[in-house]
Amino acid sequence: MRLQAYSIRSLGLDDFSLVEPVLEAVPRELFAVPRIDKGYRAFVAGMSRMPWAMPYVCLEGGNAAAVCFLNVPQPKHLSAFLVALLARPSEAGLPLALYIRHAFWSYPLHRLFTHVPALPDSEPYRDALLGVGFKREGVLAAHVTTEGGPRDAMVVGLLRDEFMSWCATNEPSLQLP
Amino acid sequence: MTLQAVTPASWPEVQGLDQTRQWSPNLGGAPPQRDGSSSFGPAMLIRENRTAMAVGILENSEMAGYPGVAVVLIWVDSSLARAGLALEAFAMYVENVFASGARLVHLEVLEFNRPVHRMMARIGVREQARMREHVYAAGRFWDVLVYAFDHQQFKQMSSRYAHNLPGGGKPPAALGGRRKPPSPQ
């Protein structure tokens, strides 16, 4: 699957060196990513066993622009928690949209959602998500623990129909048949 | 009303409640699995003292990615429980969850579960988020409303209603109580 300079593919056990720059770029308070090869392999192996987890790397040329996967606690609800690790969040709109399109194309998901901690480092993440059609759904007060004390987390969600509308307006090539 | 920790001996009663619960859309059905263990104290049966019957269940788990945040589930069979029992049981259980180390209590409630929304409104807890069309139950997708509060907020809320709770103005002396479960027939 390609879009302009971007493409996506499944994350492999041997991709640590490819995705390491992305993992290093993610603020530690945003997501606790294994940052050594052994931990990464265990992480990806665990992901691969989870239903609909879809661990993927988004590539820009030969470089990783994003690592994304889903957490679907109960498939019957067709609602998946999106984890998107972005090398440069302010430029991540297209690779993110490519992954989201592939998630809706691959599975009968009704909705994606995620949480964004209210931290200065996470503002570009929030903007990237809102930029591909996610809507604000509220704030989880004081849920995030940081060295500076508790912080809020914003809840954002995206329904399948909303993403299709976003595609029609912004990136028609991503529309589903 | 007595809260009694779920143990292997009480699984038949838990399964009986789950049989009813799976036809109730309030929680999107019964949980896919249960072993009686929870992150902040055990799951507990709600037992009516008058009849000694288990009429509901309370359980908790740590919210994924949020250390110290306890997701609490309450389910009461309204055909068996008297009015007000759910609030009493909830207050006792939440006190125990905080005592077991939780930093926050977090509840996710389906939009049409009006008894729980009324309960939250009564104790002064407002929704923090509305996750749109988040759960599939009873043939369609429903919004889920999120509530959360810390121990300090809970103490302020419960002090307003302490006179309605077991023990009056005193905190719950014990969970599980001295009542023995009914003997097998």
Averaged pLDDT for residues A48-53 = 92
pLDDT value of position B180:
47
Residue B180 placed within a domain: no
pLDDT value of position B169:
52
pLDDT in tens, A74-94: 899 999 999 999 999 999 999
Residue B101 placed within a domain: yes
pLDDT in tens, B107-116: 999 998 888 8
Residue B7 placed within a domain: yes
Mutation choice for B interface testing from A143, A162, A163 by most B CBs within 10 A: A143
Residues in Cβ contact with A98 at an 8 Å cutoff, skipping those fewer than 6 apart: A1, A3, A6, A7, A8, A58, A174
Q: Which helix (H) or strand (E) holds B56?
A: strand B54-62
Which residue type sits at A54? M
- Angstrom distances, CA of residue A100 to CA of A11, A61, A160: 15, 19, 10
CB contact (8 A) between residue A115 and residue B128: no
ipTM: 0.92
Partners of residue B61 in chain A, C-beta under 8 Å: none
pLDDT value of position B63:
92
pLDDT value of position B184:
47
pLDDT in tens, B152-165: 999 988 787 666 65
Which DSSP letter does residue B32 get? S
B129 burial via Cβ count (<10 Å: 0-12, 13-18, 19+)? buried
CB contact (8 A) between residue B127 and residue A78: no
User: Is A26 or B127 the better-scoring residue by pLDDT?
Assistant: B127
Confidence band for A16, pLDDT divided at 50, 70 and 90: very high
SS3 B73: strand
Which DSSP letter does residue B53 get? -
pLDDT value of position B181:
46
Residue B173 placed within a domain: no
- Cβ pair A129, A68 in contact under 8 A: no
Q: Count Cβ neighbours within 10 Å for each residue of A104-113 and write b for 16 or more, e otherwise.
A: beebebbbbb
Q: Pick the range with the lowest mean pLDDT from A70-84, A158-172, B26-40, B138-152.
A: B26-40
Instruction: Tell me how many domains chain A contains.
Output: 1
Cβ neighbours around A70 below 10 Å, total: 25
Q: Is the pLDDT of residue B27 over 90?
A: no
pLDDT value of position A59:
95
Q: Which helix (H) or strand (E) holds B71?
A: strand B69-76
SS3 B179: coil
Confidence band for B173, pLDDT divided at 50, 70 and 90: very low
Token digits of residue A27: 């603020």
Q: Is the pLDDT of residue B48 over 80?
A: yes
Domain extent for A163: 2-174
SS3 B23: coil
pLDDT value of position B179:
42
Mutation choice for B interface testing from A71, A77, A82 by most B CBs within 10 A: A77
Angle, alpha carbons B75-B79-B81 (nearest 5°): 65
Predicted TM-score (pTM) of the model is 0.86
Q: Is B28 on the interface with A (CB under 8 A)?
A: yes
Averaged pLDDT for residues B76-105 = 90
| DSSP assignment string, B83-150 | TTHHHHHHHHHHHHHHHTT-SEEEEEEETT-HHHHHHHHHTTPPP-EEEEEEEEETTEEEEEEEEEEE
Averaged pLDDT for residues A44-71 = 93
Q: Is B118 on the interface with A (CB under 8 A)?
A: no
Residue B119 placed within a domain: yes
- Cβ pair B55, B81 in contact under 8 A: yes
Instruction: Tell me how many domains chain B contains.
Output: 1
Token digits of residue B108: 């996710």
Q: Is the pLDDT of residue B118 over 60?
A: yes
Domain extent for B150: 2-164
| DSSP assignment string, chain A | -EETTEEEEE--TT-HHHHHHHHHHS-TTT-----SHHHHHHHHHHHHHSTT---EEEEETTEEEEEEEEE-S-GGG-EEEEEEEESSGGG-HHHHHHHHHHHHHHS---EEEEEEESSGGGHHHHHHHHHTT-EEEEEEEEEEEETTEEEEEEEEEEEHHHHHHHHHHH-GGG---
Q: Is B138 on the interface with A (CB under 8 A)?
A: no
CB contact (8 A) between residue A137 and residue B127: no
Averaged pLDDT for residues A142-146 = 93
- Average of per-residue pLDDT values in chain B: 82
B110 burial via Cβ count (<10 Å: 0-12, 13-18, 19+)? buried
Token digits of residue B146: 């999120």
CB contact (8 A) between residue A155 and residue B104: no
Residue B29 placed within a domain: yes
